[in-house]
Amino acid sequence: MKTRSLLPMFAAVTLFSAPVGAQSLPTMIQKAVSEQIEICKPEKPQIGAGFISRKDINGDGVSDYVLDYGSF
């Protein structure tokens, strides 16, 4: 599996600490996950518990999406 720079990924996920279902994810987050799945092909990645969570990362009072690729 290839890795990406953290800065662009942080920028992509900075929008919301509880797990989030795929159906409720914004398009930007769904796209980031889909792109990572494509990168992993032909392997079929397993998305583990805690892969997507919500937490205020930048202290602005708004919960951000956090993608933990250690659980991907």
- Burial profile 4-37: b = 16 or more Cβ within 10 angstroms, e = fewer: eeeeebeebbbebeeebeeeebeeebeebbeebe
How many alpha carbons lie under 13 Å from residue 59 in its C-beta half-sphere? 0
Q: What is the pTM of this model?
A: 0.54
| Tokens found for residue 52 | 């997507």
Q: Which residue has the tokens 């956090």?
A: 66
Name the residue ranges covered by the structural domains of the chain. Answer: 6-71
Which ranges in 4-69 belong to alpha helices (H)? 6-13, 27-40
Read off the pLDDT of residues 24-51 as tens digits, 9 standing for 90 and up.
888 989 998 899 889 888 888 888 888 8
Single-letter code of the amino acid located at 33: V
Answer whether residue 9 shows pLDDT above 50: no
Answer whether residue 13 shows pLDDT above 60: no
**pLDDT, position 44:** 83
